[in-house]
Amino acid sequence: MSFEKAKADLEEKGLGDHVIVLSESSATVAEAAHALGVEPASIAKTLSVLQGEKPVLIVTEGTAKLDNHKYKSLFHMKAKMIPYDEVETYVGHAPGGVCPFGVNEGVAIYLDESLRKFDTVYPAAGNGHTAVKLTLQELEAAAGAEGWVDVCKEPEGE
pLDDT band at 63 (very low <50, low <70, confident <90, very high): very high
Q: Would you state the pLDDT for residue 156?
A: 66
Domain contains 157:
no
Alpha-carbon Rg of the chain, whole angstroms?
14
pLDDT band at 158 (very low <50, low <70, confident <90, very high): very low
Give residue 150's identity as a one-letter amino acid code.
D
Domain count, the chain: 1
What does the mean pLDDT of the chain come to?
95
What is residue 141's DSSP assignment?
Answer: H
CATH of the domain at 42: 3.90.960.10
What's the domain range around 119? 2-146
CB 120, CB 128: distance < 8 Å: no
- Look at residue 56 and tell me whether its pLDDT is greater than 60: yes
The beta strand positions in 9-123, using DSSP E, are: 19-21, 43-51, 54-61, 65-66, 80-81, 108-112, 120-123
Domain contains 23:
yes
Q: Look at the chain and count its residues.
A: 158
What CA–CA distance (Å, rounded) separates 90 from 87?
5
- Look at residue 157 and tell me whether its pLDDT is greater than 70: no
What is residue 114's DSSP assignment?
Answer: G
Domain contains 152:
no
Domain contains 156:
no
CB 58, CB 149: distance < 8 Å: yes
Q: Would you state the pLDDT for residue 154?
A: 76
What average pLDDT does range 3-23 have in this prediction? Answer: 96
Q: Over the stretch 70-115, which tens digit does the pLDDT of each residue have?
A: 999 999 999 999 999 999 999 999 999 999 999 999 999 999 999 9
